Structure 1
Amino acid sequence: MTVYLDHQASTPILPTVRAAMQPFWADFHGNPHSSEHSTGWTANKATESSRTKVANYIGADPDEIIFTSGATEANNLAIKGLCIPKQRQSQRKTILVSATEHKCVLESAAYVAQTTGCSVLEIPVNGKGHVDLDKLRDMLSEDVLLVSVALVNNEIGTVQDLASISALCRDAGAILHSDFAQAPSAVDLMDYANLADMVSLSGHKFGGPMGVGALFVSRELKDHIEPLFHGGGQEGGMRSGTLPLPLCVGIGAAAEFHASEAGAAMRARVARLRDLFVNKLQSSRDHIRLNGEKLASRHPGNANLRFEGHDADEMLQRLQPIVSASTGSACSSGITEPSYVLSAIGLTSDEAQASIRFSFGHTNTSDEALTAAEAIIAVL
């Protein structure tokens, strides 16, 4: 049996999500955009119901939700779509991104800088991974068009003070985009409603299916986003292409679950398992350190641990097939240099190369937490 501790890379589908999707693989198979017959109407009704669930989950209106293939596409659409010259609301042309953003945010911003004449500046973070609010305040000049800061970090689980970031951006007249890909499994999103002008989601990060995500774009901004895809004009002209009916149903069901009391209870249960695991490890060895925030103040499933004097890649190999974990983002696979997120919070190269991200989720049990800890102790 393998103990899966890589839920921040991808979560198994929730049972309620699987059940909601099942009929739409066969019984209800229509094209949601076929408007001339009842099969298409049924499909359209299902996608619009899902759109409403996603909107309700983040405190938005359904017409502000655009379905995408995932958070990578949503982040690209938000940043590139807003920043091309003909869509800019003003002469502003500076983009600010936090130093610990996901690669797709950093690369999208870099692409815009290379192709449109915009400039990109990185907002520094402190040793816990929080954006330096004083530095952000100083950087928010009248030339700043867009600020992009993820609510929850994908490697160290830091939860940003989005309310303060939002207030600073609004005072400066800058647009705020936030990557919420890791947030649904970590926090109650209604606590963060109306703080950002654009928000990205990814289905498979919170118990939904792979291959679907969403971008919230506030109504005031919708006319200022240039689509990445051109074609039939679906999604209000912002994202052409036939919607994947079962996947849209799935992300809606996942949003509905996480907005419920059951979702809150699951997050609390996951935090207890993560704490059990970390406490077991740290009570057995003195050289195991936590990277980032204290446990109670981060993503409830995240434990980014530093095993001083050890090589993380070698440890992960020796743990196979007992424990599945990772040294960082799955989207950066193949990159061998130390994690730029860990470097940004002040770790040395050796410290970063001794660090492993363990991420718990809804499928884990207390027995698995202890089994994984014991396997790691044996490897050490």
Structure 2
Amino acid sequence: MREHHFQLQNRTLWKRGHALVIAMWKEVIATCSLSGYLSWQFLKASRQSMEARVETMYYLDGFASWPVRPEVQNVLVEALAQPGNANSNHAAGWQASSLYEKGKRQVATLIGAAPSEIFVTSGATEANALAIIGVWRTVAGQVPNRNKIILSALEHDAVRRPAEALRESGCEILVCPTDTSGAICIESLGTLLDESTILVSTMLASNLTGIIQPIEKIGKMAHDVGALMHVDAAQAAGKHPIDVFDLGADYLSLSAHKFGGPQGVGALYVAASAPKPTELTTASHLETHLSGTQPAALVAAMGRAAEISLQNMDRESIHSGCLISLFEKGLSGGGLRARRLFPSSPTVPGAAAFILDTLASSELIDILNSKVCLSNASACHSGSLQPSPILSSLHLTYDEQKRFLRLGVGWWLSEREIEAATAAINDAVAKVRLATGEVHQ
């Protein structure tokens, strides 16, 4: 009897417990469903808000980096999906090596070089350092009377810093000023050059104004005194026609992300006739100074970007010119006076620099940074409150430097988007003036 009683009691408790558990689960499910629904609605609204922000963002900072071209994205994804090390002696390795070599050929074609003259780097910064420091280490010891490197006053820190680091090794660093057109002063360069010059290093296009420098003249002048010529073409490659032979370049640096390729890869051109920097003398059959695995996918993507840029250069140049004109027209139509710097000087397509009338460019950028992407300096110096030595070399006062704005546009923008961007800029300026009580005449 007692055993039967315990069985009935246990069965009753089990039923009650089961009912309680079911009730609890019903409550949990109801609660979770409600919270889940609310969470889903919140996430949906957040995503829609984010998508709305993304859809209305206009990217006008092409100097800092170009968007990756859609065709390049496809090549990169496909290459990343393939296994294999380019150094491996099997089918997967051969495939990776083939991608790598094809990318190098495409980059070489972009600048009129041979594939064997292309050395893969992580970008123009590394390429610049390899050229400048490498040439000094390679040549200075062989020719003791050559101890001088000449830079232009326009150079990016990627050129300035490796050059300055050589002072401790006895290298003399001279800086050539600019003329009133925003370009390197040829007359001043002539007074600096002599037979003690080992290297002249200058950019092909300014990273602040886009002005194309007279590299052919500079290269000839350098070679006339027996010096080597290094060109930082980061802002020009893929936008402006380049032939390393015509330029007289012994070394040339470029970055893929400046012409629609991925970030993190670039190249250094070393002419077959030029001394090879010591860091490159251990190059393998893949012609790279890197001792590790070759970045086949990145090089394949860089090569595709080079190929497309070369194919579309003329058409995109015309399109970019139209966008610049629309931008100027849109600003003037909205009442924001902006003086274009060096309007008569040749620039790479899609590049322009302005001095705003009364508004500090940093203030405008801060107001618009979630809607219109603009820049007032190199991305490496963004946010600096100190006078820019490069802008100072362009004969701009500190007050003008605070109102300096650079514009970089290209294939990814339509005319309608430029009109919308200038409308947003004018709207922001109007709000600032209303808040400060300024009335624009």
Instruction: State the TM-score, normalized to the length of structure 1.
Output: 0.92
User: Aligned in 2, Cα 1:163/1:204: closer, same or farther, shift over 3 Å?
Assistant: same
1:176 alignment counterpart: 229
Pairwise mapping of residues 55-134 of structure 1 onto structure 2 (< 5 A)?
Answer: 55-84=108-137, 88-91=141-144, 92-114=146-168, 116-134=169-187
2:241 alignment counterpart: 188
Give a deviation string over 1:332-358, Cα, whole Å, max 9, x none: 235321332221110000100111112
* Matching residue within 182, 201, 226 for 1:148: 201
2:421 alignment counterpart: 372
Give a deviation string over 1:37-95, Cα, whole Å, max 9, x none: 11111111111111111112111111110000000000010001111266644221100
Moved over 6 A (4+): none
1:242 alignment counterpart: 293
**Contact 1:82–1:88, Cα closer than 8 Å, also in 2:** no
2:3 alignment counterpart: none
* Matching residue within 188, 205, 223 for 2:258: 205
The structure where helix makes up a greater share of residues is 2
Mapped to 1, the partners of 2:390 and 2:206 lie a distance apart of 9
Mapped to 2, the partners of 1:141 and 1:24 lie a distance apart of 48
State the secondary structure of the residue aligned to 1:306: strand
1:280 alignment counterpart: 330
Question: Structure 2: any 5+ residue segments left out of the alignment?
Answer: 1-55, 430-441
* Matching residue within 45, 51, 65 for 1:10: 65
| Percent identity between the two aligned chains | 34
2:320 alignment counterpart: 270
Q: Read off the aligned partner of 2:75 and give its amino acid letter.
A: A
Pairwise mapping of residues 336-351 of structure 1 onto structure 2 (< 5 A)?
Answer: 336-351=385-400
Q: Whose radius of gyration is greater, 1 or 2?
A: 2
Give a deviation string over 1:133-190, Cα, whole Å, max 9, x none: 0111111111100001100111111101111111111111110100111102431123
The Cα RMSD (Å) is: 2.1
State the secondary structure of the residue aligned to 1:18: helix
State the secondary structure of the residue aligned to 2:199: strand
**Contact 1:188–1:264, Cα closer than 8 Å, also in 2:** no
Q: How many residues align?
A: 373
User: Aligned in 2, Cα 1:88/1:19: closer, same or farther, shift over 3 Å?
Assistant: farther
Mapped to 2, the partners of 1:118 and 1:191 lie a distance apart of 26
Mapped to 2, the partners of 1:237 and 1:152 lie a distance apart of 26
Which structure has more relative contact order (CA 8 Å, sep 6+)? It is 1
**Contact 1:277–1:369, Cα closer than 8 Å, also in 2:** yes
* Matching residue within 277, 301, 304 for 2:353: 304
Higher deviation after alignment, 265-274 or 281-290: 281-290
User: Aligned in 2, Cα 1:128/1:192: closer, same or farther, shift over 3 Å?
Assistant: farther
Mapped to 1, the partners of 2:165 and 2:239 lie a distance apart of 30
Higher deviation after alignment, 171-180 or 88-97: 88-97
State the secondary structure of the residue aligned to 1:200: strand
Q: Read off the aligned partner of 1:51 and give its amino acid letter.
A: K
**Contact 2:240–2:313, Cα closer than 8 Å, also in 1:** no
State the secondary structure of the residue aligned to 1:178: strand
User: Aligned in 2, Cα 1:374/1:89: closer, same or farther, shift over 3 Å?
Assistant: farther
Question: Structure 1: any 5+ residue segments left out of the alignment?
Answer: none
Shift of 1:193: 4.2
User: Aligned in 2, Cα 1:62/1:109: closer, same or farther, shift over 3 Å?
Assistant: same
**Contact 1:84–1:226, Cα closer than 8 Å, also in 2:** yes
